[in-house]
A = this chain, B = another copy of it.
Amino acid sequence: MTPGATGAVPIDAQRLTSVVADIFTACGIAAADAQIVAADLVAADLEGIASHGVMLVPMYVERIKKGSVSRRSAGEVVSDRAGAIIIDAGNALGQLTSRQAVKLVVARAREIGLASVAVRNGFHFGTAGRYARMMAQENCVGIVLSNTRPLMPAPGGAEAIAGNNPIAIALPSTGSFPVEADMALSATAMGKIRLAAAAGERIPEDWAVDAQGQPTSDPAAAIKGMLLPAAGPKGFSLAFVIDLLCGGLSGGALGAEVRPLYGDAAEPYRCSHFFLAVHVGHFQPGDQFAGRVRDQAMRASRSKRPAGVERVYAPGELVWATRQASGGVCRLDQATVQSLLDTATRLGLADSESSLLAAKGA
């Protein structure tokens, strides 16, 4: 998660969603689909996860224009055997095929206790936690995995083998905020290393290695090098098996078969996803499980603190609190605003600039 930069441009979330939806519609995406994708991206900005927010729009648009992201509303179910379903996403927008997967996996889990959907030929789906939370709202434990191209070496190695593949697990709760774990399995995001480079700062030695696999605290060398896994061999081994679960079970791409997100925009990204829903109602009656989840989350949230620590957050609480505190206003950095305006102008959306500028008054 990258917290939204302070001092950035405030823009009303609803207006921003309209502008972004207009951009996707102008690319030939169906209006209802454009609205869904726009709302998801804006939601990430409201949650303080700018890396998964509207800064992605120009890249999405370029890929739609060049054909590596399709204009389909859904993928195709290519295999359906009880708890095991495979979707070929056909390079459609990940927000659309992931909703399709969530709907299928929850319905099947309600029937037989648990179910899974493996997705191949997928595209970027935003934050994994969003889909896990959707399952949790349906009284399921929601587990969401994805792969990316290799970015991290095996422990001690000098060659990228596994992506910083995300894992999200969300639980039904009777409390006020969703309880979830949601993380990428690198020690940090490349975005933070770029920020350090821009600020002329050194980075901790456990963030990255240089291109030869040697430890480095120089962000420039790290950018040319490889990310290090979270918690060393632990994060690496989890990322490694997630890659195989996603790409292997779906019969899709894994390892270097997944292409760079910001690489050749004409070449499909081809990531794979894995959605798993465990229906709590098959295990425990009523709200018993969700109540225990709330109780534990409150224990974490209210736990004793050492002097100097103002607040302890339960897993999932910070993202929720950030969104609550946003007041429906996104804080975008100037470069992101400019890239949206440029994209809108190139698509012939003459009103967008004034609309965005008006939005700033929020």
Contact = CB atoms under 8 A, between A and B. Distances in A.
Interface string A68-97: 000000000001011110100000000000
Nearest to A214: B306
Contacts of A311: 156
A300 B157 contact: yes
A183 interface: yes
A67 to B, nearest CB: 28
Task: Identify the interface centre among A83, A158, A169, A179: most chain B CB within 10 Å of its CB.
Answer: A83
A181 interface: yes
A309 B248 contact: no
A116 interface: yes
Interface in A286-332: 288-289, 292-293, 296, 299-301, 303-307, 309, 311-316
A250 B283 contact: yes
Given A153-B303, A303-B159, A284 B213 contact: no
B118 A115 contact: no
A312 B157 contact: yes
A134 interface: no
Interface of A: 79, 81-84, 86, 109, 111-116, 118, 141, 153-159, 161-162, 167, 169, 171, 179-183, 185, 187, 209, 212-214, 230-231, 233-238, 240-241, 243-245, 247-251, 254-255, 276, 278-280, 282-284, 288-289, 292-293, 296, 299-301, 303-307, 309, 311-316
20 contacts: A82-B112, A82-B113, A113-B115, A118-B283, A141-B245, A153-B303, A154-B313, A155-B312, A156-B305, A156-B309, A157-B305, A158-B303, A158-B309, A159-B304, A171-B244, A179-B241, A231-B234, A236-B315, A244-B293, A251-B283
